[in-house]
Chain A
């Protein structure tokens, strides 16, 4: 029997989250339509409880449970904590936006919690079966969340695109997994790792499996040339959902990359490294060059996501512990910056008014100097201006790339970031030097203001004192 304390303790946070999410689902069903704030606060409380549960169960050593299919190590714990934090922030930043659009449904929070459950399962999955199930749980919740604004045709279109392409990516991933299972005879990453390192598995079949799995995963991450869905989905989805989409799921996707490729298929490093270089080069180009032509702030941030994904891939493809920790650092930094960026859109929006165009940011300094400052910090950080969080993240990744003697790749990445800096700086120019098109600021709730201010300050402070976060990411590997 495997349902004993030894197995259940490591997945206690997941169990707690599931029980709480199901309870909220029940409570929400019996509440009147006007009292969704209760659901919101209950969701926040359950996030806090789950956070504490992960924190108390944290340990630096690696623990395997469920016959080696679940892994709990520092990496999974740090990722889970970051995911919970980011989702809590995303909830806080999106409540008033949802209310103003009459889509403040309890399901947003409930599906959000279930999506988090999927991500947490992904973060500590150590078998192909769990990886796939966690991914599907997360994706299913995300598809539904994108479609939450049912009467909005763009949102429905985005959901449909996301669903169909996501299903295709899942199919690719599953095909690769089935081949890998076929040649290694096991679903466990540890066994697969040994089999691949042993070298008795036919190389050609392994290559095929790796190709399919990498394509599927990169599809989900949104790296070029599989990025086509990303701008449409990020732009079409309600900004509240985009907030959610762009932060924590990226951490979960990184977890899969690190477990599958950084651990299971580490014996094939030269092969997947080459493929990832192609993806990274394409993503950096597409993300930075196409973003220049955007007039929508939301779409611009979506393209900037593609380029950030390129940087994350740069960290992973180095195949070294330094590279992995740089990728983790970059993903955490990116999640924070993206929450800030999309958070500003939800902050400036009010009933009947979307603030997702670049023109909406014009003259922000005249309207609210403090908001303009937060925007400045976040844009500088995304562009990688020295002594901001984004700069340290880019630096760490580039160091990892240079360490494995791919200097040309590092130079290319720097050139692309310089091109990308143009559109980030353009946003700042609009906010500080252009005349505002509207006056006044929407009045937002206290928790939202706190969270957005907190995000801005966190990006600023972590940029000035990055040592703690860097050390944490380095300790994990």
Chain B
């Protein structure tokens, strides 16, 4: 067994194990951390595939930005883990059955018989000065510019949707409007009212009788 194969086995098994732990762990913060580990292991397997740029981007974007944000959200939310586990045991046999069947199917199809090295030979390693960052850059804005733009629109829609669902205008919230404060004139605040002088209550009663 070559060293690279050994590395692959280590990374792949850690990816699978951490994904499994992410689903089964009780603590949501741990789950988020296991997901980080899954991303990390996946990134490392990509590194073995000589996709250095994508691998680093996966770590930077997903681990560095998305998951950290996600961790904040998870910590702030008070998730009732007991309620989410309701029915876990009841649905376990069905879920496990489906999972096992799918795993069997996949291992039958994705085995070395159909996808072995004799069918799909390993690609020739690129020379040391080959830059796959440049390779991605040269097609991303030319050949794949249309899908790239659509992906941007998808992000825009996600943003619009998130704002629509969370933005709440609260009429009861008080806030200062500096411009309005500066613009205010005396007449807006003080009203001079001419009133008759006070009269006694029985006088009013008398007036009422007279009318």
* A residues lining the B interface (CB < 8 Å): 1-3, 11, 18, 22, 25, 33, 66-67, 69-70, 105, 107, 110-111, 114, 117, 121, 129-130, 133-134, 136-137, 140-141, 143-144, 147-148, 150, 179, 182-183, 202, 204-205, 208
Contacts and interface: CB of A to CB of B under 8 A. Distances in A.
A27 B74 CA distance: 35
Contacts of B164: 105, 107, 111, 144, 148
B143 interface: yes
A275 to B, nearest CB: 15
B150 A2 contact: no
Nearest to B149: A18
A144 B150 contact: no
Contacts of B156: 22, 114
Main secondary structure of the interface of A (DSSP, over half): helix
> Lowest 5 A-B CB distances belong to which pairs?
A144-B161, A107-B164, A133-B150, A202-B114, A208-B109
Contacts of A18: 153
Interface of B: 105-106, 108-110, 114-115, 119, 142-147, 150-151, 153-154, 156-158, 160-161, 164-165, 169
20 contacts: A11-B146, A22-B156, A70-B146, A105-B164, A110-B160, A111-B157, A117-B153, A130-B147, A130-B150, A133-B147, A137-B153, A140-B154, A140-B161, A143-B161, A144-B165, A147-B165, A179-B109, A183-B114, A202-B119, A208-B105
Given A66-B146, A147-B165, A208-B105, 12 more contacts: A1-B142, A3-B142, A111-B161, A114-B160, A133-B151, A134-B150, A143-B161, A144-B160, A144-B161, A150-B165, A183-B114, A205-B109
Contacts of A25: 160
B161 A137 contact: no
Given A107-B160, A144-B164, A202-B114, A114 B146 contact: no
A63 to B, nearest CB: 14
A136 B157 CA distance: 10
A1 B144 CA distance: 11
Nearest to A148: B164
Contacts of B142: 1-3
B161 A182 contact: no
Contacts of A144: 157, 160-161, 164-165
Contact of A205 (B114, B146, B157, B160): B114
A130 B161 contact: no
A449 B157 CA distance: 31
A2 B145 contact: yes
A191 to B, nearest CB: 14
A136 B105 CA distance: 27
A67 B114 contact: no
Contacts of A182: 115
Contacts of A121: 150
